[in-house]
């Protein structure tokens, strides 16, 4: 059970009332149409000779990004937009902040009554589970060592949920196991992936990414699921499905400078990959979709190695 406690707290992130500022200085704005996305206010970029409305300000995250030329510091951007010095721009921003920005906000705090743990009868990989992985051309010993994989037998439950005959993949974040996902050893069993019950997760898996944080570099490979990460290795990270969240998009943009999105070749997955690429580009990330046949987890390892090499070039 999760109890929700609602409290008023002061926002730690001071936001600009950009609409008021733009109105006061007669700067044209767009919040919909070409180059606009929900939660953004757009205008003409003063940095790159923009003839349209490519400069966006994020109402959620308090930063400027031009669709054409990338991110820009707030004070410098405002100084160029309203044609004052940066020192004067900072004074103007401060006055808007004092008047509009530090406001109480409602925050929901979850108090959990259930401890995190794995399903019953969870144990190291059995021969049956190793054979399943070998059948998919994975090295079970390597995966067991690198990803701390576990398994469940023919009887395994957690909160009245059936986790039998699954490979249990711990989900670690900031060096701590915060959740898990179970992958069925039979493609006929639905759902193929079953997550930890939400009220037992220390961190909800859909607000983080699956992968090895300590080994991520400037270039990352975004995939759908945990088996795709196993195939593509430490440069890869997964969003736990094609339905990614805004928190995950923000996290990707704050972590990587370049991102290759490698989703399955199904039509819906392709559409989601293209959408994710657009959202990351809008946030200043050099992102692109890599078309493949099938899914990354189903690749032969030598094919996956070649793909990784091409992305890293």
| Tens-place pLDDT, residues 86-125 | 888 888 887 776 433 334 444 455 555 689 999 999 999 9
The pLDDT, as a whole number, for residue 15 is 63
For 9, other C-beta atoms within 10 Å of its C-beta total 10
Instruction: Give residue-wise pLDDT tens across range 222-269.
Output: 999 999 999 999 999 999 999 999 999 999 999 999 999 999 999 999
Residue 276 pLDDT: 95
Every domain of the chain with CATH number 3.90.980.10 lies at 123-207
Tens digits of residue pLDDT in 294-309 = 999 999 999 999 999 9
The domain 213-312 is classified under which CATH number: 3.90.79.10, 3.40.1360.10, 3.40.228.10, 1.10.3720.10? 3.40.1360.10
The whole-number pLDDT of residue 286 equals 94
> Which residue(s) pair with 54 in the sheet?
none
Domain with CATH 3.90.580.10 in the chain: 18-106
Rounded average pLDDT over 265-293:
93
Mean pLDDT of 203-230: 95
pLDDT tens digit string along 137-163?
Answer: 999 999 999 999 999 999 999 999 999
CATH class, domain 18-106, is alpha beta
The pLDDT of 185-190, averaged and rounded, is 84
- Which pLDDT score is estimated for 120? 96
pTM: 0.68
Q: Is residue 1 over pLDDT 70?
A: no
Choice between 16 and 76, residue whose per-residue pLDDT is larger: 76
pLDDT at 211: 97
Domain 123-207 sits in CATH 3.90.980.10: yes
Domain with CATH 3.40.1360.10 in the chain: 213-312
Percent of the chain with pLDDT over 70: 89
């Amino acid at each position: 059970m999760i109890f929700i406690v609602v409290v008023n707290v002061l926002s730690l992130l001071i936001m600009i009332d950009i609409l008021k500022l733009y109105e006061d200085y007669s700067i044209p704005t767009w919040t919909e149409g070409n180059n606009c996305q929900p939660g953004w206010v757009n205008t003409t970029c003063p940095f790159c000779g923009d003839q349209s409305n490519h400069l966006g300000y994020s109402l959620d995250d308090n930063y400027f990004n031009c669709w054409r030329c990338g991110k820009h510091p707030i004070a410098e951007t405002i100084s160029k937009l309203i044609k004052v010095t940066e020192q004067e721009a900072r004074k103007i921003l401060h006055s808007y902040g004092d008047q509009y920005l530090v406001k109480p906000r409602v925050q929901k705090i979850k108090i959990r009554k259930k401890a995190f743990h794995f399903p019953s009868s969870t144990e190291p990989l059995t021969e049956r589970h190793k054979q399943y992985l070998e059948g998919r051309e994975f090295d079970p010993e390597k995966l067991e060592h690198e990803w701390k994989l576990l398994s469940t037998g023919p009887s395994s439950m957690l909160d009245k949920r059936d986790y039998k005959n699954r490979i249990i993949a711990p989900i670690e974040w900031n060096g701590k196991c915060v959740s898990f996902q179970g992958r069925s050893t039979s493609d006929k069993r639905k759902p193929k992936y079953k997550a930890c019950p939400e009220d037992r997760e220390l961190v909800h898996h859909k607000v983080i990414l699956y992968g090895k944080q300590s080994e991520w570099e400037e270039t990352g490979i975004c995939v759908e699921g945990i088996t795709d990460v196993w195939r593509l290795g430490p440069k890869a990270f997964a969003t736990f499905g094609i339905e990614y969240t805004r928190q995950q998009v923000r996290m990707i943009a704050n972590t990587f400078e370049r991102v290759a999105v490698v989703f399955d070749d199904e039509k819906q997955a392709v559409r989601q990959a293209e959408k994710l690429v657009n959202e990351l580009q809008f946030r200043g990330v050099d992102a692109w979709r890599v078309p493949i046949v099938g899914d990354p987890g189903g690749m032969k390892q030598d094919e996956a190695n070649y793909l990784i090499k091409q992305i890293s070039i």
